Amino acid sequence: MGYTLKIGEAIIDFDLEFNTVSVNVKDVKLDNAPAFGEPTDYENERWPSYIAWGEFMRNSNTEFIFKNEEDGLLREHPGVFPIKVEHQIEINNAYHVFKAKYPNAKAEFSGENTPTEDGVLCRLEWLKFWIDWTMENCENPVFYNS
């Protein structure tokens, strides 16, 4: 099992047949977006396992960005939460701190099922790219998880 994570413009889905309302994220695919040989390359969506994302948060020192009870982006599962400028600053900072700590890391997956610096950098690059893009291009920026 794992997450479906999306970053981008909030869209509201009204289903009058079932009398429900839900919030999702508009699908976006960009040629200049990060790609690491995954089915969701170039997209604002990723499908990490719970274990892989948990290891990523620990290894990238981003747990507080996601799990903070007050405004964490992944404080409830499933959930959709607004992305704030403070989130963008914290993610960009985590990216730069990680790059300084591991200057030889390459954003690529090794094929092994271990949390290498390279795999962490892949996720940080994806996260940074889409948070930055979303904050620049979206009226209602959100982080979605299901």
CA 124 to chain CA centroid, nearest Å: 8
Mean pLDDT of the chain: 94
Cα three-residue angle 13-143-48, rounded to 5 degrees = 105
Name the token pair of 75: 């404080």
Kindly report, residue by residue over 75-125, the tens digit of the pLDDT.
999 999 999 999 999 999 999 999 999 998 888 876 655 556 788 999 999
List the domain range (segments joined by +) for residue 137: 5-145
Count of Cβ atoms closer than 10 Å to residue 13 Cβ:
9
DSSP letter assigned to residue 33 = S
Question: Token pair for residue 100?
Answer: 């300084």
Per-residue pLDDT of 34-48, as tens digits, reads: 999 899 999 999 999
- Give the total number of structural domains in the chain: 1
